[in-house]
């Protein structure tokens, strides 16, 4: 198996190759439309690109794959989609959610930043990733 650094990152210009052409595509298109609209509303611009992380569950072996042991992962339909736009002027990451329940989080654009573990924010999950 090749190291992850050697594997190509798939790039698509449409979502059809990912979601097919049925009901799942319609649902995904609605989610992308909501994300584009919310991004425009919050940041005043459309995203430059989208990224997607497919869902997965481990039928057996939860967390032991980190130690090199075997697991039995299974892809699931749920996924996470993210809209991204680079702003060279700010030096900060602003993370918003389409659900207003989660307020915008702002972080320095520093990959070595400390996370305040006593101040729980949903955006910490993004920063830790």
Q: What is the pLDDT of residues 95-129, one digit of tens each?
A: 999 999 999 999 998 888 888 889 999 999 888 87
Q: What is the pLDDT of residues 21-78, one digit of tens each?
A: 899 999 999 999 999 999 999 999 999 999 999 998 887 877 787 788 888 888 898 9
Q: Over the stretch 1-30, which tens digit does the pLDDT of each residue have?
A: 556 677 888 899 999 999 998 999 999 999
Rg of the chain's alpha carbons, rounded to an integer? 17
Task: Supply the DSSP string of 16-81, one letter for each residue.
Answer: HHHH-SSHHHHHHHHHHHHHHHHHHHHHSS--SEEEEEEEEEESS-TTGGGGT----EEEEEEEEE
Q: What would the two tokens of residue 92 be?
A: 């900060």
How would you class 124 by CB atoms within 10 Å of its CB: exposed for 0-12, middle for 13-18, buried for 19 or more? middle
The ranges assigned to domains in the chain are 11-84, 87-129
Is residue 27 left, alpha or beta, with left meaning phi > 0 and alpha meaning psi from -120 to 50? alpha
The structure's pTM equals 0.80
């Amino acid at each position: 198996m090749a190291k992850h650094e050697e594997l190509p990152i798939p790039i698509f210009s449409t979502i059809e190759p990912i979601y097919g052409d049925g009901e799942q595509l319609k649902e995904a298109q609605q989610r992308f439309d909501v994300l584009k609209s919310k991004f425009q509303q919050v940041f005043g611009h459309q995203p430059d690109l989208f990224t997607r992380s497919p869902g997965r569950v481990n039928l057996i072996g939860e967390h032991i794959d980190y130690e090199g042991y075997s697991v039995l992962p299974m892809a699931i339909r749920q996924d996470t989609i993210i809209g991204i736009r680079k702003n060279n002027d700010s030096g900060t990451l602003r993370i918003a959610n389409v659900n207003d329940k989660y307020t915008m989080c702002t972080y320095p654009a520093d990959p070595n930043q400390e996370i305040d573990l006593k101040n729980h924010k949903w955006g910490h999950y993004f920063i830790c990733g």
